[in-house]
């Protein structure tokens, strides 16, 4: 890599005549007989489809006007390869075993260089270290991305991915249809009991499934958060002389499971919750079948728009998540990174430079304007030096904007897009709710970087960033369905320990005592 940067290649590369070619300032370039524009770099990128209906509805996403415009602005020709969101990790593993690895792999959140999903591929030399490239061609990336995020994308001290980043680790929120809440005559719920009473009142008023539950407790773990028993790899706790997952707090876990079972028994969530995928979950919310749900806070304006066609009087807002016995609540606090962009080690030096330059453009002033507002004269105009942009109000236009401003922009602050939100009253309201509610809640714990080797070793018992151990998930589902008594939770823990959990506890405790790669949640 260092040799690449000594070849003098940069002197032959023509800079794009756009704002933010290599920094956020405006540049002007000229073409002479000795300095001809370089042909666009052809770059293939695999990424999650993010369940975005605009992208999924395209017959040829690479001929989409936003994809082509991004290529024009960055002197690239993009070949996007969308991977089903729910299958991203297994399909990525298959890519590693094949010869069809894209130039850039933009992963879903949590696929760290030192984690079980990516470490083998990096050890095998499938991806390149990026320190020198970023230092030379990614100066705006270095300015924009916080050090905590860079620290999370290192392997043996070297940077292996360009990260999306979070300015704040709390990013998930509890949403409510305020119009449905108002119909109940009840105030915004504070405790878990209040939360249940609101759901019951909505049910009485005809809301089919008041709480929007999703398969595998995805975006449905707010009750685990209330009792501080979230079963993820970032959620360990020292109990006695051992470091164990938080679901080892038996009494608190039994309380949480009892709440979920109550919701199931009383019809406060879907009877088929165990198999309810992301698309059906989204459709149910938009159709007005649910009144409360959990999701990423930065998508509130999307929900505002997508719920209105079926429910013209719908009013969506963020409320504090219900609190448990300790007066706290909220969902998992995230790491400081979102999706990560890895570069194939086999790409040419010219292409690697073009990729980093494209990523760098995404955090410049010019890039910010394109991703947030689109194309001047098409989706926005300039008046007195200021952008005049009207955010979309239909579901179709909202999903198109989300594709451009979120999905296509592989480097950004995924906690909140304040530039875009400040253009509307709904957006300003979201900023206020985020700053006053979301940043004040959330759960964290002891985690490890690199992740515990034993978690990757045991399929049934392993804890992942945002996936529950299958053996634990199985017991939870049986208890909510009433097929196992909740009082048997200690037996579920023994089952987990027998299937690899004992080794996970042993490794976690040893690393904690030796202070090896231990991260303490705030």
Q: What is the pLDDT of residues 38-82, one digit of tens each?
A: 899 999 999 999 989 999 999 999 999 999 999 999 999 999 999
The reported pLDDT for the residue numbered 334 is 86
Tally the C-alpha atoms within 13 A of residue 313's C-alpha that lie toward its C-beta. Answer: 6
Q: Give the residue from 225, 97, 102, 114 showing the smallest Cα distance to 160.
A: 114
The reported pLDDT for the residue numbered 424 is 85
Strand 41-48 versus strand 76-83 pairing type = parallel
Q: Is the pLDDT of residue 27 over 70?
A: no
Give the integer Cα–Cα distance in Å for 465 and 496. Answer: 18
The reported pLDDT for the residue numbered 23 is 41
Q: Is the pLDDT of residue 519 over 90?
A: no
More confident residue, 232 or 178: 178
State pLDDT tens for residues 458-481.
999 998 877 899 999 999 999 999
In three-state secondary structure terms, 497 is helix
Mean pLDDT along residues 24-37:
45
Q: Look at 26-40, 78-92, 382-396 and tell me which has the smallest mean pLDDT.
A: 26-40
The reported pLDDT for the residue numbered 35 is 58
The reported pLDDT for the residue numbered 393 is 84
The reported pLDDT for the residue numbered 26 is 38
pTM: 0.78
Q: In the structure, what pLDDT confidence band is assigned to residue 517 with cuts at 50, 70 and 90?
A: confident
The reported pLDDT for the residue numbered 37 is 73
State pLDDT tens for residues 179-189.
999 999 999 99
The reported pLDDT for the residue numbered 234 is 86
The pLDDT mean for the chain works out to 91
In three-state secondary structure terms, 431 is helix
Return the CA Rg of the chain.
24
E strand spans, 210-315: 236-239, 242-245, 292-296
Mean pLDDT along residues 135-159:
95
Find out whether the peptide bond into 361 is cis, omega within 30 degrees of 0.
no
The reported pLDDT for the residue numbered 17 is 32
The reported pLDDT for the residue numbered 13 is 31
Mean pLDDT along residues 91-98:
92
Q: What percent of the chain has pLDDT over 90?
A: 78
Q: Is the pLDDT of residue 2 over 50?
A: no
State pLDDT tens for residues 392-449.
889 899 999 999 999 999 999 988 889 888 888 888 999 999 999 999 999 999 998 7
Q: Is the pLDDT of residue 260 over 60?
A: yes
């Amino acid at each position: 890599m260092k040799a690449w940067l000594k070849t003098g290649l940069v002197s032959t590369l023509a800079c794009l005549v756009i704002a933010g070619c290599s920094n956020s300032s405006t540049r002007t370039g000229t073409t002479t007989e000795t300095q001809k524009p370089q042909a666009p770099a052809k770059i293939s990128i695999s990424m999650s489809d993010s369940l975005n209906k605009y992208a999924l509805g395209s017959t040829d996403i690479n001929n989409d006007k936003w994809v082509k415009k991004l290529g024009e602005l960055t002197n690239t020709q993009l070949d996007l390869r969308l991977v089903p969101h729910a299958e991203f990790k297994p399909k990525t593993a298959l890519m590693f075993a094949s010869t069809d690895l894209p130039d850039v792999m933009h992963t879903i959140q949590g696929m760290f260089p030192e984690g079980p999903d990516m470490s083998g591929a990096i050890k095998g030399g499938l991806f390149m270290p990026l320190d020198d490239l970023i230092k030379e061609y990614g100066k705006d990336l270095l300015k924009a991305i916080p050090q905590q995020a860079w620290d999370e994308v290192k392997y043996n001290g070297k940077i292996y991915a360009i990260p999306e980043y979070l300015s704040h680790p709390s990013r998930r929120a509890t949403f409510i249809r305020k119009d449905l809440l108002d119909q109940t005559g009840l105030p915004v719920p504070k405790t878990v009991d209040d939360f249940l009473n609101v759901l019951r009142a909505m049910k009485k008023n005809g809301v089919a499934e008041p709480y929007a539950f999703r398969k595998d407790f995805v975006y449905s773990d707010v009750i685990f958060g209330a009792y501080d028993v979230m079963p993820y790899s970032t959620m360990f706790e020292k109990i006695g002389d051992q470091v164990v997952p938080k679901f080892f707090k038996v009494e608190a876990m039994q309380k949480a499971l009892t709440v979920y079972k109550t919701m199931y028994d009383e019809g406060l969530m879907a009877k088929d919750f165990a198999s309810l995928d992301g698309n059906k979950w989204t459709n149910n919310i938009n159709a007005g079948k649910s009144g409360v749900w959990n999701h990423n806070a930065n998508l509130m304006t999307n929900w505002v728009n997508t719920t209105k066609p079926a429910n013209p009087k719908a009013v969506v807002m963020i409320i504090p998540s219900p609190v448990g016995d300790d007066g706290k609540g909220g969902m998992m606090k995230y790491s400081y990174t979102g999706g990560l962009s890895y570069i194939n080690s086999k790409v040419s030096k010219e292409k690697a430079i073009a990729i980093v330059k494209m990523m760098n453009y995404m955090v410049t002033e010019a890039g910010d304007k394109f991703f947030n507002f689109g194309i001047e004269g098409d989706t926005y105009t300039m008046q007195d030096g200021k952008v005049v942009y009207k955010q979309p109000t239909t579901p179709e236009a909202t999903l198109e904007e989300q594709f451009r401003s979120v999905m296509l922009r592989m480097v950004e602050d995924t906690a909140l897009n304040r530039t875009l939100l400040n253009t509307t009253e709904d957006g300003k309201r979201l900023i206020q709710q985020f700053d006053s509610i979301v940043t004040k809640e959330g759960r964290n714990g002891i985690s490890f970087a690199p992740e515990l080797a034993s978690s990757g070793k045991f399929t049934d018992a392993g804890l992942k960033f945002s996936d529950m151990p299958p053996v634990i998930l199985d017991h939870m589902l049986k208890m909510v369905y009433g097929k196992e008594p909740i009082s048997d939770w200690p037996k579920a823990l023994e089952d987990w320990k027998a299937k690899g959990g004992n080794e996970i506890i042993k490794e976690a405790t040893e690393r904690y005592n030796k202070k090896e790669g231990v991260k303490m949640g705030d």
